[in-house]
Amino acid sequence: MSCTDAAEIAEAALVLPIVFMMLLGIYWFGRALNTYETINHAAIEATRAVTLYSCATCGNASTPSNAGAVVQQVLQASALDPNLATVIAGETVTGCAGGTVACPSTPVGSSSGNICVYTNVQIGSPGTCGVSVSFQYPYQFYFPFTSLDLQKLELKTRVQMRGEF
């Protein structure tokens, strides 16, 4: 074995762990982004379900309870557990009548109530009213030998949509 062979082995021993950690980082941050996009999509679909009438001539508008079922379907379709979604603590929105509105005392969703659906909230400029849906979903990194290993993040989403009444 020559000196150059030993140097190549030593260089590989130093570089390969760094390359492996970079690949793991790309994977776990990509998975976090995918999870965030999924919960954001679920909130968009739930907001849409609450703001739109199911039938233009029937007069039967959707209710906030529909939002929980929509979120559950979207999360399950992406292999995420809907029961892990929780209410964002301390969140308030501005109501159409003025003042702040806290999450309803009985959030909708699973049996534990895991998402907040705010109706009659101010969207953008005063006078524009609509619906807001918000919740958070936990994400845990598995990134050994770093400070991010087993670190939990709460990915939060909040979607507002003008009412089509």
C-beta of residue 60 within 8 angstroms of C-beta of residue 53: yes
Other beta carbons less than 10 A from residue 133's beta carbon: 29
Q: Which two tokens stand for residue 48?
A: 């849409």
Give me the pLDDT at residue 134, please: 92
Residue range 60-89, pLDDT digits in tens: 555 677 788 889 999 999 999 998 998 888
* pLDDT score, position 112: 45
Residue 71's alpha-carbon distances to 51, 62, 134, 151, in angstroms, are 15, 14, 11, 25
Q: Are 94 and 113 in contact (CB under 8 A)?
A: no
Across 108-115, average pLDDT: 61
Q: Is the pLDDT of residue 58 over 70?
A: no
For the chain, what percent of residues have pLDDT higher than 70?
Answer: 84
Flag whether pLDDT at 4 surpasses 60.
yes
Q: Please compute the mean of the pLDDT values over residues 131-140 and round it to a whole number.
A: 91
Distance CA 136, CA 50 (A): 19
pTM for this entry? 0.79
d(CA 85, CA 161) in angstroms, rounded, equals 21
